[in-house]
Amino acid sequence: VGRTVSVTDSTVVDFQKNGIDFRGAGLTGVATGNTATGWGPTPAIAQNGILWVSGAGGSASGNTVSGFQYTGAAPATSAGLLVFATSAPVVIASNVITDAQSSIAVASSTDVTASDNTITGTGGVLAALDVQSGGVLVANNNVISGATYGAAVVAGASLTLTGGSITGSGVG
């Protein structure tokens, strides 16, 4: 049974693991106009701002996401927006993401589009677009500045990057 959950014009702060968590097959999770703020650099837990997982699809637009940086043991990282283990479509568009270790992270998910997002980092931002094993991301017209890596793609992942810009990154 399909269902839709919308989170609109909300402020999400002082949470433990995930700010807005869309989880489960058949769920369409829509996040619009929200502010999700993590703890900033912390060794306590790898927080995520907005998450689609375990078959959930949906969209994020007009959100402001900031302060997601995990300083504890590798390989864990924090993400501003994370899409994990879903084949349902997820569209991430027109968001402002600041100081998120992996600003938009995709793993084991094959239908993700990120367009017209503004991603900035002032320290601790590892990858603006972080595509891990089994991840497929189509990124259009995103403006990225100040990340260590503007885009990071590992073996078994795919990134199609069109338009936009990557500036101030040690590695493009």
Q: In the structure, what pLDDT confidence band is assigned to residue 169 with cuts at 50, 70 and 90?
A: confident
Structure tokens at 39: 């703890």
* pTM summary value: 0.95
Q: Which of 61, 148, 139, 141 is nearest to 102 (CA)?
A: 148
Q: In the structure, what pLDDT confidence band is assigned to residue 121 with cuts at 50, 70 and 90?
A: confident
pLDDT on residue 92 = 98
112 touches 140 (CB < 8 A): no
Q: In the structure, what pLDDT confidence band is assigned to residue 106 with cuts at 50, 70 and 90?
A: very high
81 touches 104 (CB < 8 A): yes
pLDDT digits (tens, 9 = 90+) for 85-105: 999 999 999 999 999 999 999
What are the strands, taking DSSP E only, across the chain?
Answer: 3-8, 11-12, 18-23, 27-32, 35-42, 48-53, 57-61, 64-70, 79-86, 90-93, 96-100, 102-109, 112-115, 118-120, 127-131, 136-140, 143-145, 149-153, 158-162, 165-167
Report the distance separating Cα 81 and Cα 113, nearest Å.
Answer: 12
